[in-house]
């Protein structure tokens, strides 16, 4: 075996074929040598994509099997498949068993490969906090984690502390309150709702520790260091699909293991001077709000509830009045109709970093103290649009999912500090069906006369005169108190004493304590059992949660959180 400072090389055998293997810089490669000493095919694996190196002949799938020989070692690495679902191919675990001429050579290879791994992959996680929602999607969260994810973590030397949730918001509260020392990231096994819990926990915790008020719409929030990973096991899994390109637990696990890091824009939603929620995918009023409200009554259907509710709401053919104000983003940088896609290594997102963090001190990972903590992001000229809308949607990213592989706004960027505002005005049922159907094919859903799309930094939504939201009245305090009482016991939520239009009770979901209840002048219905709400007012769907307010203000915080992901790999790179 030859070892110099930049290169390790020796002959190795795979089965009965001889290979010349070499490790140099960022790659481990092996080239087949035929009987006449001619070089044939070479396989190269980037060190950053090596999952583990084990003594002996090891298999972990379908079951763990170890044949502990003296001269063999097994290399595990990321393997790209040629066929993909959508625009990217899934990743799987590649495995090659090498046979060495002696035990000494075998031990040297293992040492050199493990050293290279440490040197070239410094940002890999070592300890993770995992939350499993046993009831998400098709209720397969626990099985997915134990059969597909845990064996890969073990192989990669990652230890995990697993919490199977027993109630909604347990994961969020855990992250907000418990000691997180030693954890390199938090992982959810579930859907967009579970991701949202981790998002709120991580952002809230970071702001608490930095002494920043989340309620202040104008403040510059502290970016979060603790990475979030998503193992898809939910109903829509939009955040996973948009940031990885596929909903596949093994692909997600491999991205977590190699320590990929994808910054993500986050939208904060405020009601008056209170933070209501954060969102990364869709804040949608009208159609998407109604679909969510309807779907909560059919949770027993599992993921199909959205298809059923989508049909029911479509047939209802409703539209809503509204006043939308937005702060446009710089149209010279990008536009929602420029026909580009935000892929791994996106130039628009990389170039946004300096603009978003002009005062970031990389040595302390904090903002310089002599710089104002207030952002200039809300300065500029607001544009006002008034009318009746089938839907108003705001999305920080493309929001693609298996139902809509190119998403709500196909050219939106994951980390450019902007969101796309889509206004679909009142139209006839066929027109709206055409709009919806274009989400599922290659036709441009924005090329319709009743649709407009804008790249924005902030949005305000209000009701036209006569429909305004009322502030909490004396009598409503009882409603609020009642809502707070049930926070600790979601089962109690389905009760007519929460007569406002927050429908968390239907989902067994809860709201944060600091969120106040607001009321809307009553003239109609929503859930048919206990809620009252005017027909002319819809609800907001915020990443799958119904908001308790109608008149909201939204602001985009560029690159506020980081995921164990790398954006969508173009399959031509595979």
Ligand X SMILES: Nc1ncnc2c1ncn2[C@@H]1O[C@H](COP(=O)(O)OP(=O)(O)O)[C@@H](O)[C@H]1O
Ligand Y SMILES: CCCCCCCCCCCCC/C=C/[C@@H](O)[C@H](COP(=O)(O)O)NC(=O)CCCCC
By CB under 6 A, name the binding residues for ligand Y: 191-193, 234-238, 281-282, 288, 291-292, 306, 310, 399, 401, 403-404, 408, 436-437, 439-440, 541, 543-544
Select from 568, 565, 470, 566 the least CA-distant residue to 188.
565
Nearest distance from C-beta of residue 302 to ligand X, angstroms: 7
34 is catalytic: no
Cα 88 to Cα 85: distance, rounded to the nearest angstrom: 6
- Catalytic residue among 72, 192, 420, 543, which? 192
Cα 249 to Cα 151: distance, rounded to the nearest angstrom: 12
Q: What are phi and psi of 380, to 5 degrees?
A: 135, 180
∠ CA 391-559-182 to the nearest 5 degrees? 125
Tell me, residue by residue from 505 to 524, as one string, x for binding to ligand X by CB under 6 A and - for no binding: ---xx---------------
Residue 201 in the binding site for ligand X (CB under 6 A): no
**Do residues 31 and 39 touch, judged by C-beta distance below 8 A?**
yes
Closer residue to ligand X (CB): 13 or 135: 135
**Do residues 250 and 551 touch, judged by C-beta distance below 8 A?**
no
Tell me, residue by residue from 284 to 323, as one string, x for binding to ligand X by CB under 6 A and - for no binding: ----------------------------------------
Closer residue to Ca ion (CB): 229 or 407: 407
Closer residue to ligand X (CB): 117 or 240: 240
Among 168, 203, 424, 561, indicate the residue that binds ligand X (CB under 6 A).
Answer: 168
Select from 170, 150, 168 the least CA-distant residue to 159.
150
Question: Which stretches of 431-532 are assigned E, i.e. beta strand?
Answer: 451-462, 469-470, 519-520
413 binding partner (options Ca ion, ligand Y, ligand X, none; Cβ < 5 to 8 Å by kind): Ca ion
**Do residues 396 and 419 touch, judged by C-beta distance below 8 A?**
yes
Where helices occur in 412-559 by DSSP H, the ranges are 429-437, 476-485, 504-507
265 binding partner (options ligand X, Ca ion, ligand Y, none; Cβ < 5 to 8 Å by kind): Ca ion
Closer residue to ligand Y (CB): 212 or 436: 436
Residue 504 in the binding site for ligand X (CB under 6 A): no
Closer residue to ligand X (CB): 260 or 511: 511
Q: Within 10 A of 262 (CB to CB), how many other CB atoms are there? A: 22
Contact set for ligand X, span 529-548 (CB under 6 A): 544
**Do residues 136 and 234 touch, judged by C-beta distance below 8 A?**
yes
Residue nearest to ligand Y (CB): 544
Closer residue to ligand X (CB): 193 or 229: 193
Buried b vs exposed e over 268-283: b needs ≥16 C-beta within 10 Å?
Answer: bbbbeebbbbbbbbbb
Tell me, residue by residue from 69 to 108, as one string, x for binding to ligand X by CB under 6 A and - for no binding: ----------------------------------------
Q: Under DSSP, is residue 355 helix (H, G, I), strand (E, B) or coil?
A: helix
291 binding partner (options ligand X, Ca ion, ligand Y, none; Cβ < 5 to 8 Å by kind): ligand Y
Select from 323, 384, 394 the least CA-distant residue to 547.
394
Task: Please give the torsion angle defined by the CA atoms of residues 179, 184, 189 and 195, in that order, rounded to the nearest 10 degrees.
Answer: 80
76 burial (CB, 10 Å; 0-12 / 13-18 / 19+) is buried
Q: Which stretch binds ligand X (CB under 6 A): 32-40, 198-206, 232-240, 381-389?
A: 232-240
- Where is 126: in which H helix or E strand? none
Residue 120 in the binding site for ligand X (CB under 6 A): no
Closer residue to Ca ion (CB): 76 or 241: 241
Q: Which stretch binds ligand X (CB under 6 A): 219-227, 228-236, 328-336, 555-563?
A: 228-236
Nearest distance from C-beta of residue 368 to ligand Y, angstroms: 36
223 binding partner (options Ca ion, ligand Y, ligand X, none; Cβ < 5 to 8 Å by kind): none
Cα 222 to Cα 204: distance, rounded to the nearest angstrom: 10
Residue 197 in the binding site for ligand X (CB under 6 A): yes
Nearest distance from C-beta of residue 165 to ligand X, angstroms: 4
Please report, for the chain, how many H helices and E strands are present, in that order: 13, 28
Nearest distance from C-beta of residue 46 to ligand Y, angstroms: 33
Q: Which residues contact 466 (CB under 8 A, 6 or more apart)?
A: none
Nearest distance from C-beta of residue 274 to ligand Y, angstroms: 22
Q: How far apart are the first and last CA of the chain?
A: 32
Task: Please give the torsion angle defined by the CA atoms of residues 269, 270, 275 and 276, in that order, rounded to the nearest 10 degrees.
Answer: -60
Q: Which stretch binds ligand X (CB under 6 A): 99-107, 191-199, 454-462, 531-539?
A: 191-199
464 binding partner (options Ca ion, ligand Y, ligand X, none; Cβ < 5 to 8 Å by kind): none
398 binding partner (options Ca ion, ligand Y, ligand X, none; Cβ < 5 to 8 Å by kind): none
What is the contact surface with Ca ion in residues (CB under 5 A)? 265, 396, 413, 416, 418
Closer residue to ligand Y (CB): 378 or 448: 448
Nearest distance from C-beta of residue 563 to ligand X, angstroms: 16
User: Half-sphere exposure of residue 358, counting CA atoms within 13 Å on the CB side?
Assistant: 9
**Do residues 84 and 402 touch, judged by C-beta distance below 8 A?**
no
Closer residue to Ca ion (CB): 457 or 505: 457
Closer residue to ligand X (CB): 74 or 247: 247
Among 125, 193, 322, 407, indicate the residue that binds ligand X (CB under 6 A).
Answer: 193
Residue 400 in the binding site for ligand X (CB under 6 A): no
- Where is 518: in which H helix or E strand? none
Q: Which residues contact 498 (CB under 8 A, 6 or more apart)?
A: 479, 482, 483, 486, 504, 505, 530
Nearest distance from C-beta of residue 282 to ligand Y, angstroms: 4
Residue 166 in the binding site for ligand X (CB under 6 A): yes
Residue 137 in the binding site for ligand X (CB under 6 A): yes
Residue 249 has which token pair? 């637990």
Nearest distance from C-beta of residue 246 to Ca ion, angstroms: 20
Binding stretches for ligand X (CB under 6 A) = 133, 135-137, 165-169, 190-194, 197, 234-236, 508-509, 544
What are the residue numbers of the active site? 192
């Amino acid at each position: 075996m030859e070892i110099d400072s930049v290169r390790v090389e020796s002959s190795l055998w795979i089965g009965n074929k001889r290979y010349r293997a070499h490790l140099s810089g960022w790659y481990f490669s092996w080239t087949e040598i035929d009987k006449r000493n001619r070089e044939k095919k070479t396989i190269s694996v980037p060190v950053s994509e090596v999952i583990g190196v084990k003594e002996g002949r090891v298999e972990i799938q379908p079951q763990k099997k170890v044949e502990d020989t003296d001269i063999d070692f097994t290399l595990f690495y990321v393997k790209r498949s040629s066929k993909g679902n959508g625009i990217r191919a899934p990743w799987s675990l590649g495995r090659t068993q090498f046979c060495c001429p002696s035990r000494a050579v075998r031990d040297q290879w293992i040492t050199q490969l493990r050293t290279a791994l440490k040197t070239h992959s410094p940002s890999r996680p070592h300890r993770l906090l995992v939350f499993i929602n046993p009831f998400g999607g098709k209720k397969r969260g626990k099985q997915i984690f134990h059969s597909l994810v845990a064996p890969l973590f073990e192989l990669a030397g990652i230890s995990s502390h697993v919490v199977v949730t027993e109630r909604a918001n347990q994961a969020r509260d855990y992250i907000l309150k418990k000691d997180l020392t030693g954890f390199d990231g938090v992982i959810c096994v579930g859907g967009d709702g579970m991701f949202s819990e981790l998002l709120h926990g991580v952002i809230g915790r970071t702001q608490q520790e930095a002494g920043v008020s989340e309620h202040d719409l104008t403040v510059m929030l502290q970016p979060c260091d603790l990475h979030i990973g998503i193992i898809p096991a939910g109903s829509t899994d939009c955040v996973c699909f948009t940031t990885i390109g596929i909903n596949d637990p093994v692909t997600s696990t491999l991205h977590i293991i190699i320590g990929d890091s994808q910054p993500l824009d986050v939208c904060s939603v405020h009601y008056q001077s209170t933070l209501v929620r954060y969102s990364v995918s869709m804040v949608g009023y009208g159609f998407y709000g109604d679909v969510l409200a309807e779907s909560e009554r059919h949770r027993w259907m599992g993921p199909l509830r959205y298809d059923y509710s989508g049909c029911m709401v479509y047939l209802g053919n409703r539209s809503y009045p509204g006043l939308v104000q937005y702060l446009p983003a710089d149209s010279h940088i990008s536009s929602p109709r420029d026909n580009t896609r935000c892929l791994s290594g996106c130039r628009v997102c990389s170039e946004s970093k300096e603009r978003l963090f002009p005062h970031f001190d990389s040595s302390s990972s904090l903002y310089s103290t002599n710089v104002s903590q207030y952002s200039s992001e809300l300065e500029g000229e607001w544009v006002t649009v008034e009318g009746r809308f089938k839907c108003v949607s705001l999305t920080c990213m493309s929001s693609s999912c298996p139902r809509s592989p190119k998403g709500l706004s196909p050219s939106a960027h994951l980390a450019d500090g902007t969101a796309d505002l889509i206004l679909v005005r009142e139209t006839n049922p066929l027109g709206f069906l055409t709009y919806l159907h274009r989400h599922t094919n290659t036709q441009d859903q924005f090329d319709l006369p009743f649709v407009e799309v804008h790249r924005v930094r902030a949005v305000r939504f209000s009701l036209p005169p006569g429909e305004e939201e009322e502030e909490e009245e004396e009598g409503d305090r009882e409603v609020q108190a009642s809502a707070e009482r049930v926070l600790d016991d979601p089962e109690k939520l389905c009760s007519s004493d929460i007569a406002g239009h927050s429908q968390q009770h239907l989902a067994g979901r809860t709201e944060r304590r600091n969120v106040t209840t607001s009321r809307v002048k009553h003239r109609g219905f929503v859930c048919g059992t206990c809620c009252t709400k005017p027909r002319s007012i819809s609800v907001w769907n915020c990443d799958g949660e119904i908001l308790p307010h109608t008149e909201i203000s939204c602001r985009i915080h560029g690159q506020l959180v980081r995921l164990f992901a790398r954006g969508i790999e173009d399959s031509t790179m595979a």
